[in-house]
Amino acid sequence: MYTVNRKRLQKLTDSLTKTSKHFNRYEIECLIKLYHNLLGESTEKQGITGIDRNAFRNILHTTFGMTDDMIMDRVFRAFDKDNDGFVSVAEWISGLCVFLRGSLEERMKYCFDAYDLNGDGFISREEMFHMLKNSLLKQPTEEDPDEGIKDLVDITLKKMDHDHDGKLSFADYEASVREEALLLEAFGPCLPDSKCSYKISSRRKDNANSFAQMQILARWIEC
């Protein structure tokens, strides 16, 4: 298992605390320690640069109950800001800030980017179809389940496409979510469910509560 010496831990904690909006210094220190524990479990190679895709997907599955391969891949990409195939400790802290405690604005931006599969700034009809097809269970009685997905895409566009151009811009998506909060994850669950988020983020009054939150997160990830 990888460890980080005290001096380096303090320096890293100080640095990341300056840029963190939603975690206090103590929480960041706990998350750094947790990161290094996970890093040690994810590989035996020396000099590894971060948590790789497979290890990260395992965290999403075992800790947060995610099962959709496409969505888990998109969450990994959201954390891996520099696109190097690994989640660094800074990316880990930054990603969890939004993932666990992000404001509505931050979560909307995060979810929209996750759903914008080709990164062109829009969620197209084709992207909606792929995500909904991937996340919805097929019914054995359906002769052509794709037709049902196409109908669902049409309904979604009618509800969310405010400028009627056949695709969703961020402005369309934001307006829709502000009207109906449930549309935040309209194309698949890419945030922790409300129960997980509440357990981790609801009690933040002092360091004792912060420690309890991090212990919960650590236990979940170790399962």
Looking at per-residue confidence, does 188 or 221 come out higher? 188
pLDDT at 47: 56
SS (H, E, C) 106-123: HHHHHHHHHHCCCCCCCE
pLDDT at 222: 40
Domain range 107-185, its CATH number among 3.40.50.720, 3.40.50.970, 1.10.238.10, 3.40.50.2300: 1.10.238.10
Looking at per-residue confidence, does 164 or 210 come out higher? 164
Lowest mean pLDDT segment, chosen from 43-47, 53-57, 200-204: 200-204
Lowest mean pLDDT segment, chosen from 20-34, 141-155, 179-193: 141-155
Is the pLDDT at 56 greater than 90? The verdict is yes
Element (H, E) at 86: strand 86-87
pLDDT at 8: 87
Q: What is the pLDDT of residues 101-149, one digit of tens each?
A: 999 999 999 999 999 999 999 999 999 999 988 766 655 555 667 888 9
The dihedral of CA 22, 24, 30, 36: what is its sign? positive
Percent of the chain with pLDDT over 70: 76
Identical fold for domains 6-102+193-222 and 107-185, yes or no, is yes
Q: Any idea which residue has 């990888």 for tokens? A: 2
Amino acid letter at 8?
R
Element (H, E) at 175: helix 170-179
Q: What is the pLDDT of residues 190-215, one digit of tens each?
A: 998 765 544 444 444 444 444 444 55
Distance CA 47, CA 75 (A): 24
Domain boundaries, the chain: 6-102+193-222, 107-185
pLDDT at 39: 81
- Cα–Cα distance list, 77 to 80, 95, 154 (Å): 5, 10, 28
CATH of domain 6-102+193-222: 1.10.238
Amino acid letter at 103?
S
Is residue 22 within 8 Å of residue 101, measured between CB atoms?
yes
What's the pTM value of the predicted model, to 2 decimals? 0.80
pLDDT at 209: 47
CA Rg value for the chain: 19
Distance CA 154, CA 156 (A): 5
